[in-house]
Amino acid sequence: MSDRTVLDMFRLDGKVAIVTGASSGLGAVFARALAQAGADVVLGARRAERLADTVAAVEALGRRALAVRTDVSVPEDCSALVEAGMAEFGAVDVLVNNAGIGTAVPATRETPEQFRQVIDVNLNGCYWMAQACARVMQPGSSIVNISSVLGLTTAGLPQAAYAASKAGLIGLTRDLAQQWTGRRGIRVNALAPGFFTSEMTDSYAEGYLDSQLPRVLAGRMGDPMELAAALVFLVSDAGGYVTGTTLPVEGGLLTS
């Protein structure tokens, strides 16, 4: 038996993690949490100028950070992000597929361009990133796709494109785990967050969140650090026997 403690199993010392959508919101929270657990972090986002704050937060924790402008809907950008991480740190052990966008357009009025853009970032972009990382990852590596409870239920908004992309991401997670865990030693899982404070929730109409909270058994919004803790579990040795699964972190919303 190992002499490691339970808390030791959550450590990420010596690991290198890529986080997409890391310029703000949950992506920045994830980057800080991974650094707190001991990882160096490669940060990707379309808004490159906004990555400076996340870099500073990671470095303040004593870890190294690298920022790379990345549009995950462009496969070449995804490959370049991974190549930059390899050149700087020599490895990629963790991928957090967090980059995403949302819309709330009634289905009869949503244009093909609007629908395709959401799918291209939220689903296709996760695939291009996973593909690029899997080509360089060693056994013991881990990928976590940030899905949503809206991939499993509805929540009173017209979000066909967003819900379709997040449901597709759950299916992608299962298939990549089936392909890569046994053959390559790469675990692939998904997180399905409920309502957490983020740029997306900031854009909701006034009163919307209050109307949905009665569905949440916990009776409140989630604390982003609660979601980040679940992420660290999945990417660390603590989650070493977990693959191909989607972990809802939603305060009991799915029971309603």
Q: What is the DSSP letter of 64?
A: -
Strands 187-193 and 142-146: parallel
Q: Which of 127, 162, 204, 208 is catalytic?
A: 162
38 phi/psi in degrees, rounded to 5 = 115, 0
Q: Is the Cβ–Cβ distance between 42 and 85 less than 8 Å?
A: yes
C-alpha radius of gyration, the chain, whole number? 17
Rounded Cα gap, residues 167 and 192, in angstroms: 10
Tell me the three state secondary structure of residue 196: strand
Q: Quick one: tokens of 184?
A: 């390559």
Q: Is 162 a catalytic residue?
A: yes
Residue with the two structure tokens 């689903």: 123
Q: Is the Cβ–Cβ distance between 244 and 181 less than 8 Å?
A: yes
Tell me the three state secondary structure of residue 244: coil
Tell me the three state secondary structure of residue 57: helix
**Per-residue CA distances from 160 to 61, 116, 152, 246 (Å):** 39, 11, 12, 20
Rounded Cα gap, residues 167 and 126, in angstroms: 13
Residues that are catalytic: 162
